[in-house]
Amino acid sequence: MGTVEPDVLSLTVAEMDFPVLAEVRHALTATIERGDLGYGVPAPRSLREALAGFAERRLGWRLDADQVTVMPDVMLAILELYRVIAGSGGAIGFATPAYPPFFREPALAGLDTVPVGLAADGSIDMRELDAALQAGIRAFVLCNPHNPTGRVLPRAELEAIAERCAAHEVWVLADEVHAPLVLSGAAHVPWLEVSDASRQWGIALTSASKAFNLAALKTAFAVTAEPRRGACSSASANSMIT
């Protein structure tokens, strides 16, 4: 896709290697034929309701449209939330290995990163998480299902992470962009369904970009347990989406 030299054969595998669903193609073609490419209503309720409907049908996760803030994409949402939650000079923890921009983007917001390693079985190394919390991280980016391991974190592990982060009043930014892609036999537990601690200190982030190959359409969602908590509103204002 123009990101490697012409004589390099790129062998990465991503959602872009799959065809766009016929339903999506037809809807987009109809939009173009109507010439409907101007400004839209910012974050219409129907869009937020569509996410709520999908979450219930596909993920068994009941949420209300008022809990949803629309963002341009998951990465920008994480970056703006970093800025709002941690401020300049703060530090963010994330589990590594990770989606590569997690390493680059915090520096753009003037933030340090504290990597938290994975144990041999792919679980979050709780001793490393404890060390990061002791070191004063202001937020922890949890990627569940994890990229690149593909591991779906079990409920007990999520509860332990929520408890530890809440005890330090550290926000968890739960990147759940791959949740609709879990294989049968695995059970994804949405972060806001884990416990009172996860709801109090959690912001779930998602988008149709991975499961439906729609990254270029730039629409993502931040979901909080209570309607539009301050951090999301400020981050969405920073990214000029309401």
Ligand X SMILES: Cc1ncc(COP(=O)(O)O)c(C=O)c1O
Contact region for ligand X (CB under 6 A) — 56-64, 127-135, 208-216, 233-241? Answer: 208-216
- Two tokens, residue 83: 């800025």
- SS3 letters for 34-51? CCCCCCCCCCCHHHHHHH
What is the C-alpha separation between 211 and 119, in angstroms, rounded?
Answer: 27
The three-class DSSP label of residue 68 is strand
Per CB under 6 A, does 177 bind ligand X?
yes
The answer to whether 241 contacts ligand X (rule: CB under 6 A) is: no
Considering the rule CB under 6 A, would residue 220 count as an interface residue with ligand X? yes
C-beta of 99 vs 191, nearer to ligand X: 99
123 binds ligand X (CB under 6 A): no
Smallest separation, CB 60 to ligand X (Å): 21
Q: Measured at the alpha carbon of residue 92, what is the angle toward residues 42 and 213, in degrees to the nearest 5?
A: 45
Is residue 213 within the footprint of ligand X (CB under 6 A)?
A: no
> Is residue 42 a contact partner of residue 68, using CB atoms and an 8 Å limit?
no
**CB-CB contact of 130 with 160 (8 Å):** no
How far apart are the C-alpha atoms of 14 and 134, rounded to whole Å?
36
Query: Is 222 an interacting residue with respect to ligand X (CB under 6 A)?
Result: no
Pick the closer one to ligand X by CB: 74 or 231: 74
The answer to the question of residue 80 lying near ligand X (CB under 6 A) is: no
Per CB under 6 A, 147 contacts ligand X: yes
Cα–Cα distance, 12 to 14 (Å, whole number) = 7
Does residue 236 interact with ligand X by CB under 6 A?
no
Contacts to ligand X from residues 24-63, by CB under 6 A: none
Complex with ligand X: residue 137 or 205, whichever CB lies closer: 205
- Which residues contact ligand X (rule: CB under 6 A)? 73-75, 99, 143, 147, 175, 177, 207, 209-210, 215, 220
